[in-house]
Structure 1
Amino acid sequence: MRAEFSSDLAAAGPVEETTFRTHDGTELFYRKWPARSDKAKGAVVLLHRGHEHGGRVAHLVDELGLHDFAFYAWDARGHGRSPGIRGFSPSFADSVRDLDSFVKHISASDGFAVEDMAVIAQSVGAVLAATWVHDYAPPIRALVLASPAFSVKLYVPFAREGIRLWQKLKGQFFVNSYVKAKFLTHDPERIASFESDPLITRPIASNILLDLYDTAERIVDDARAIIVPTQLLISGSDWVVRHAPQHRFYENLAHPLKERHVLKGFFHDTLGEKDRAIAIAHARRFIADRFAAEPAILDVTSADETGFTRDEQDRLSSPHDLLSLKGLYWAIYRGSIRFSALFSKGLKVGVKTGFDSGSTLDYVYENQPRGFGPGGRLIDRQFLDAIGWRGIRQRKLHLEELIGAALTRLQGAGRSTHMLDIAAGHGRYVLDAIAQSEAKPASVRLQDYSPINVEAGRTLIADRGLAATASFHQADAFDGDRLAETMPSPDLAIVSGLYELFPDNSLIERSLGGLARAMKPGSLLLYTNQPWHPQLEMIARALTSHRGGEAWVMRRRTQAEMDQLVAAAGFRKIDQRIDQWGIFTVSIAERL
């Protein structure tokens, strides 16, 4: 099989072929080229285009001339020599998590810190890389994106809408690529190798194509959350993807170390074009410059004062004129919620206690529509199926998974397993996680500021017969001094759904500081975040908070901001989960 693309591999020098185990246990194939110097400066990860495989980017190893770097190129799930249905992944988010697993594998197996890695990616691979950097916030040294497929030209009118409708009616299906090799590059050798390569994957699953569009729109619009040095290479005569989203993405990037190069006459295969030496020279210089200097970390811990999410919060906090069209629209919307609350149990709980309250959250977790008659239950079902609540339930699953993993890790290290949740709501997700975990905690201390939540949580503990090991206390999660005095010292501390409700970073710093003082080195912290939400304006204009019925206006934190706050308190992030919509994350960090 290697003979089919041996020319690329031979030019790249000695190559090792092996696999790594990704997040769901699948073994994905990759190639590794060790550095040709005694000590590698860093690692460069190469991500191929859609339909292709790692062998198609192998020529870059030699052509970049960065011989004191190790290179890695995978075959993405469902591509090349990696397993799976051709052109398929369970979701685009799963493929992004594959990339996160790949980088973790490189770090664990070869000792490269994430700070000593660069990524070069093309087309769909470039969207994967941009999404990974946005959603997981890895502090890599440099990111080079070549013709990212933020918007694929389908040419058929309403093709995207048709694909979405057909998938909804008939289920997942496959779309074959229409692109001929001669529209990808002017290089006759690349054209010939593309046409003869048996590992080229023509079909793409409909769910991945739709996810690609949806994810790309989110990442382009929210590119200010990306804070790593980034170079964008745009093919000037691209037949495959549109230019406008690439330019908008670049303009939104937050890091001052960013470059954009429009390559006149280039087709879509930017790094495989006939004149690719021009593009490769840009990438070589950019990466070399980034590694010649100290890591250019952009501090965003003051984003609550001067960041773009603060601007967004201020805009959402400003009421519309009641007699304006928008003012009237949202007044009617709020009225419809209050009216529907007469029939829907979930809306009634939200109106009474606040849509961000522990009571509402517990109702969402139960996910059982209730209300007055069939109509009330139908309204309640629509309420529970809102994308934000679906994300909340996925967050609960991720919390349960990581709580179990944390307890197992602590137990395996021979440590005690005392748990603390500083704002547990009713505590359902913690108790459910403990019930499902093979490793059990030595003690569980749940806390919340609300007497309603404390009473409900104590009832849950009693109903489950856990009074011997679990207790519930009323406490302020932002009282750092009191947190620091927690006894026994927590081996696993949990902060879920709390920091997202408070825009002020000084509160978060006080809370994290107290936890850090309470926890011994090697202890674990689980924390959640909300880096993005598709319904921020609806929530701010129509829903009320638990704080006296005021408008529920959220300031979202980018994942980079949240991770930096956690790091500043003395923790090192280990792992992360994120839902398929990019709304909620759950991360685990170790006390240093």
Structure 2
Amino acid sequence: MNVKEGTFYGVGEAKLYYRMIQPMSKPKGVVIVVHGHGDHSGGLQNLLDKLTEHQYIVYAFDLRGHGQSVGTRGFIKKWDEYRGDLHTFRQMVESESANLPLFLIGHSLGGVISLEYCLVHGTGIRGLVAIAPAISYKIKPIEKLLIPILSKIKPDYTITSASNQSLLTKDPKMIKRLNSDGLRHNTVTPGLGQGLLQTVSNLETNADKITLPLLLQFGLKDEITPPEKLRDFFHFIGSKEKVMKEYDEMRHRPFDEVGREQFYHDLIDWLEVQLSK
């Protein structure tokens, strides 16, 4: 496989890092992958490699405030920055991918970014995969009360929590890798928190307007994005071609979880079905 790294300029000329992985054989399609909060594109290496192995060109970038991209860790001024960055990235990808079928995959926060993006710019995307999207992110009542206030007073105020990788996966090798990954962070800000709250509310109100083919995947042992609300959200999605896959013993990162073979089997099969239409 061929790997390329580079940068592009997002909203407000923010310099954002990306990587592209191209299979050695003729590609079937191109996939844009959007990572979750505190993560970075390289943190999804297992997922990127599996997609490349199955003849997809894969593009992934570090969200602003994450990884090797610029910005205060875990901060956005407004949600439009995430949407605009992704749209600029998509335009670059499409200019390089010779009209191949385009798919979008988002995990956790990246799942919310991808879902909201498809409400606005979904035309031309062959299918969307949402992996444990932060639709059902657990938030304390006091946090829900304080976030809107703090987002107006000090939106870039940083709060760093202790990491607990066992919430993400049971795989000891993956936990070790996550713990040693210096590009990961556990920092949040009121600006991001408020943007996420508003966007999730918008998605819940307008779920019926998400009409492109969709695959929703999540683990039933996920304590970060509990499955009950994800099931409810799936019910209201307007797509006539939607599939939900649940995994009994998996946590927040099913692509890095023990028994992930089934997760990947379902993902690749779904992509192949979309290509056959």
1:218-297 correspondence runs (5 A) = 218-293=202-277
Report the equivalent of 2:107: 122
Say which SS state the counterpart of residue 131 (structure 1) adopts. helix
Residue in 2 aligned with 1:198?
Answer: 182
Aligned to 1:526: none
Question: Which position in structure 1 is the counterpart of 2:17?
Answer: 29
TM-score of the aligned structures, taking structure 2 as reference length: 0.93
What is the CA-CA distance between 1:77 and the residue it aligns to? 0.9
1:53 to 28, 40, 47: 40
Say whether the 8 Å CA contact 2:109–2:133 is kept in structure 1. yes
- Match runs of 1:539-578 below 5 Å: none
Listed one character per residue, the Cα deviations across residues 264-311 of structure 1 (whole Å, up to 9, x for unaligned) are: 121111222122211111111001110122xxxxxxxxxxxxxxxxxx
CA deviations 1:564-584 (Å, max 9, x no partner) are xxxxxxxxxxxxxxxxxxxxx
- Displacement of 1:233 in angstroms is 0.6
C-alpha deviation, 1:245, in angstroms: 3.0
For residues 65 and 111 of structure 1, do their structure 2 counterparts lie closer, same or farther at Cα, with a shift above 3 Å needed?
closer
Partner of 1:90: 77
Please tell me whether the aligned partners of residues 151 and 213 of structure 1 are also in contact (alpha carbons under 8 angstroms): no
CA distance in 2, matches of 1:97, 1:225: 20
| Structure 1 residue identity aligned to 2:132 | S
Native 8 Å contact 1:95 1:128 kept in 2? yes
Question: What letter is aligned with 2:5?
Answer: E
Is the alpha carbon distance of 1:233 and 1:105 closer, same or farther for their aligned partners in structure 2, counting shifts above 3 Å?
Answer: same
CA contact (8 A) 1:220 1:245 kept: no
Unaligned runs of 5+ in 2: none
Deviations 1:183-207 (A, max 9, x none): 1101111111111111002112211
1:224/1:253 contact within 8 Å kept: yes
1:43 aligns with 2:53: no
Unaligned runs of 5+ in 1: 1-12, 294-592
CA contact (8 A) 2:40 2:66 kept: yes
Q: 1:171 to 1:20 in 2, by over 3 A?
A: closer
Structure-2 separation of matches of 1:194 and 1:242? 21
Task: Give runs of aligned pairs for residues 66-465 of structure 1, distance below 5 A.
Answer: 66-112=53-99, 116-154=101-139, 156-293=140-277
8 Å CA contact 1:142–1:229 kept in 2: the answer is: yes
Alpha-carbon spacing, 1:197–1:93, altered in 2? closer, same or farther (3 Å): same
Contact kept in structure 2, 1:37 and 1:67, CA below 8 Å: no
Instruction: Report the aligned-residue RMSD.
Output: 1.8
Cα offset, 1:171, TM superposition: 4.8
Bigger-Rg structure (1/2): 1
Query: Would you say the 8 A contact 2:21–2:52 is kept in 1?
Result: no
Q: Does the aligned pair in 1 maintain the 2:22–2:52 contact within 8 Å?
A: no
How far apart are the structure 2 equivalents of 1:255 and 1:66? 29
Tell me, yes or no, if the aligned pair for 1:43 and 1:69 is still in contact at 8 Å: yes
Cα distance per residue 1:421-446 (max 9 Å; x no partner): xxxxxxxxxxxxxxxxxxxxxxxxxx
TM-score by length of 1: 0.45
Q: Which runs of 4+ in 1 moved over 6 A?
A: none
Pair 1:20–1:112, CA change in 2 (3 A): farther
> Does structure 1 conserve the Cα–Cα contact (< 8 Å) formed by 2:39 and 2:184?
yes
2:238 partner amino acid: A
Task: State how far apart, in whole Å, the 2-side matches of 1:133 and 1:69 are.
Answer: 21
Does 1 or 2 have the higher relative contact order (CA < 8 Å, sep 6+)? 2
% identical equivalent positions: 25
Aligned residue-pair number? 277
Q: Which amino acid aligns with 1:37?
A: S
Residues in 1 aligned to 2:188 and 2:131: alpha-carbon distance in whole angstroms: 20
Tell me the distance in 1 between the aligned counterparts of 2:52 and 2:218. 22
